[in-house]
A and B are shown apart, each in its own frame.
Chain A
């Protein structure tokens, strides 16, 4: 028997190569991924009477609140789009991003009990969050589409850019990538030092005001526009509004910037996550 040429399925060393990310393992555990999605989806509304109806209630009440506060009281322009529709369009995509970020940012801390007992590719957990929120997004998108259709038939205050509708899935993927990237990066950083958990609590909320969710890009003074566009979420939300409402800031360059930002962030985050997941149990 030739010891040197033996084949081993797995060799564990203290430090793997930093660029070794075993994405194949995620495919092997795809059943677990889907079961976790199912668990997230089912368990949230167990023992509730309204169940999935809550998926509608959340954006509806938020939209009404925004309409009253930002529309009627603060009188922030909506570019002539019906306020309800304007806020709902911003909220729908923003909520997806915020949920992905919030719920993936505590991946390690929240799942320490399971991670400490059994091995599976840790990336499965944040990915399952992404997918279960995607289902929620789809449901809320149906709500948005109904309101949108209603206004579309009612008046002619806006015209959608039908030719660009194909961009929609790409916008969603970009939002998912950004949410995942920020989320798992923060979750990796908080395994040892918990400081970032404090930041995330109010950070996401404040970030909404740094994104054109409750106001249109058109009312932003020229000198701030550049800074606002550095926020990778800005051009995605604006593009979404441009697609469906015909009003909004649409620019291939800034959208390209957001996409590049997303890809680089995601690559960095996955590498860091991959490094941390191996021994985070010792410090979490």
Chain B
């Protein structure tokens, strides 16, 4: 059994909203009094779930609520979630820049956190002086830095400017130097925030490469990113945070799918409830059903390679629409858009549909490569004004095997692109 290096138990963090001012002193006194008399802090109870889109009653929110997980030595854990899900708060607590409100966490080994590159750089000091200063802030001793100094300078590629104050550096050089220092830390546990978001492609690749080699040396990495490709490529495990709670954890592929596929289960039969969260809806029409089907219009989610794929849509219009258009985007399981059709293709073919329910059946050519796919359907007017827009539902799968086993797909699954080609389309009123 591998050694557990991080253990997090019931970790929660509460924040106060609004400004600190005279109003907050009464809350402080209430909390202090409760503490003194040995009661529970009354303000801890009234925290609400952290959903930034909804205006809440209370001034206190839980940025993190009851987080539990363990990390084994050598794991590379990806932390994903929407903005405001609590990722950065979690990293802040783990890197000890703030404390949890309740709960605890335990750590074995030396921790270095990289929540930003170039922490503590002083603009007036030279590159050389800043390497030492920044290295020491990140937890290295002078001796360690001196040993790695040449390596750091080489990695950064700014030898020529090493004795120039960093305020004269271009922003790219600055970031390179800063990352070079960070990359030469060797802690047992490395905590990295979205530092990869800065810098050019070359720099990002360099960062990813460095993180890969760090994990190969058996060190533990915690890594926040919105780059699902990087998470999949680097991480051995992932956790998904949503509104401050731990929604899902497990293999990166599973967690990424959970992240994108919010309510997969209730859509298994293709019905899209009116309550389903849409990207956009103007109230004039709804997509009530979408699924891939067999040529006989029966719901089908798994296809053999070279099977022909049909898509069935049911919509209800709340009023007559004279210039109806619709589009379907196909995404792969890394949520990259890979194909798009928009129908009809010219203005004289726009569909005039009466108020009521309609069914649309699309027949596609068998041009999908093996893989998992999602659909994003949209209804709109010809001028582009959207009526209903849903993202990433109706998951289906194409296997590498063909039906009779004679024409199996022989290449790497990542090879080439799938695209959607329409064979026929058919409208009917139901």
- List the interface of chain A (C-beta within 8 A of B): 1, 6-15, 29, 31-32, 34-36, 38-39, 42-43, 46-47, 113-120, 192-193, 278-279, 281-283
Please provide the 7 A-B residue pairs with the shortest distance between their CB atoms, ordered closest to farther: A119-B96, A32-B136, A8-B106, A31-B142, A46-B124, A117-B119, A278-B99
Query: Is B122's CB under 8 angstroms from A43's CB?
Result: yes
Contact A11 B125 (CB under 8 A): no
Is A119's CB under 8 angstroms from B102's CB? Answer: no
A–B complex contacts, Cβ < 8 Å, 24 sampled: A7-B108, A9-B110, A12-B99, A14-B100, A31-B140, A31-B142, A35-B133, A35-B136, A35-B142, A39-B129, A43-B124, A43-B125, A46-B124, A117-B97, A117-B113, A117-B119, A118-B115, A118-B120, A120-B137, A192-B24, A193-B25, A281-B97, A282-B16, A283-B20
The answer, yes or no, to whether B165 is at the interface (CB within 8 Å) is yes
Which of A14, A36, A46 lies in contact with B103, CB distance below 8 A? A14
Task: Report the Cα distance A42→B115, complex, angstroms.
Answer: 27
Establish whether residues A47 and B124, one from each chain, have CB atoms under 8 Å apart when the complex forms: yes
Separation of A256 and B100 alpha carbons in the complex (Å): 42
The chain B residues found within 8 Å of chain A, CB to CB, are 1, 4, 7, 15-16, 20, 24-25, 28, 92-93, 95-111, 113, 115-116, 119-120, 122, 124-125, 129, 132-133, 136-143, 165
Residue in A closest to B112 when the chains form the complex, CB atoms? A118
Contact A10 B106 (CB under 8 A): yes
Q: A12-B104, A43-B125, A281-B98 are in contact. Are A193 and B139 (CB under 8 A)?
A: no
Partner of B107, one of A10, A15, A42, A120: A10
List the A side residues contacting B98 at CB < 8 Å: 278-279, 281-282
How close is B209's CB to chain A, nearest CB, in angstroms? 23
In Å, the complex CA distance between A120 and B137 comes to 7
Chain B hits for A278, CB < 8 A: 98-99
Task: Report whether B106 and A29 are in contact in the complex, using a CB–CB cutoff of 8 Å.
Answer: no
A9 to B28, CA, bound (A): 33
Minimum CB–CB distance for A14 against chain B, Å = 5
Residues in A neighbouring B97, C-beta threshold 8 A: 115-119, 281
| Residue numbers in B under 8 Å from A117 (CB-CB) | 97, 113, 115-116, 119
A45 to chain B, nearest CB (A): 10
Shortest distance from the beta carbon of A34 to any chain B beta carbon, whole Å: 8
Q: Is the CB of A39 within 8 A of B137?
A: no
Nearest chain A CB to B93 CB, angstrom units:
7
Do A14 and B102 touch (CB < 8 A)? yes
Give chain A nearest CB distance to B73 CB in angstroms.
Answer: 13
A114 and B125 contacting across the interface, CB-CB below 8 Å: no
A36 to B125, CA, bound (A): 12
Chain B residues, Cβ within 8 Å of A47 = 124
CB distance from B191 to the nearest CB of A (A): 10
Does the CB pair B133–A39 fall under 8 Å?
yes
Given the complex of chains A and B, what is the CA–CA distance between A36 and B120 in angstroms? Answer: 10
Bound Cα distance from A9 to B138, whole angstroms: 18
Q: Is the CB of B122 within 8 A of A39?
A: yes
**A114→B120 contact, CB < 8 A:** yes
Residue numbers in B under 8 Å from A8 (CB-CB): 7, 106-108
A8-B107, A278-B98 known; 5 other A-B pairs, CB under 8 Å? A9-B110, A29-B136, A42-B129, A118-B137, A192-B20
* CB-defined contacts of B28 to chain A, threshold 8 Å: 192
- Chain A residue contacts of B129, Cβ below 8 A: 38-39, 42
Given B102, B103, B113, B122, which contacts A118 in the complex, CB threshold below 8 Å? B113
Contact A119 B133 (CB under 8 A): no
| A9 CA to B220 CA, complexed, in Å | 15
A36 to B15, CA, bound (A): 32
Residue numbers in B under 8 Å from A115 (CB-CB): 97
CB contacts (< 8 Å) of A1 on chain B: these are 1
Asked whether, in the complex, the Cβ of A119 is within 8 Å of the Cβ of B95, the reply is yes
Neighbouring B residues of A46 by C-beta, 8 Å: 124-125, 165
Q: Give bound CA distance, A1 to B73, whole Å.
A: 15
What separation, in Å, do the CA atoms of A282 and B97 have in the docked complex? 10
A residues in contact with B1, CB < 8 Å: 1
**B133–A11 touching, CB < 8 Å:** no
Give the residue of B104, B107, B142 whose beta carbon is less than 8 angstroms from that of A9: B107
Asked whether B20 lies within 8 Å of A120 as measured between CB atoms, the reply is no
Question: Within the assembled complex, what's the spacing in Å between the Cα atoms of A113 and B119?
Answer: 8
Taking the closest CB of chain A, its distance from the CB of B119, in whole angstroms, is 5
Instruction: Write out the residue numbers on chain A whose beta carbons fall within 8 Å of the beta carbon of B125.
Output: 39, 42-43, 46
Give Cα A12 to B9, complex, Å.
10
- A114 to B138 alpha-carbon distance, docked (Å): 10
By beta carbon, the residue of chain A nearest B133 is: A35
Please indicate the chain B residues that have their CB under 8 angstroms from the CB of A12 in the complex: 93, 96, 99-100, 104-107
User: How many angstroms between the C-alpha atoms of A15 and B129 in the bound complex?
Assistant: 37
- For the complex, what is the distance from the CA of A118 to the CA of B91, rounded to whole Å? 10
> Closest residue to B140 on the A side, CB-wise?
A31
Contacts A10-B107, A35-B132, A35-B136; A114 near B119 (Cβ below 8 A): yes
- The answer to whether B137 touches A114, judged by C-beta atoms less than 8 angstroms apart, is yes
| Minimal beta-carbon separation of A16 from chain B (angstroms) | 8
Tell me the complex Cα distance, A47–B165, Å: 11
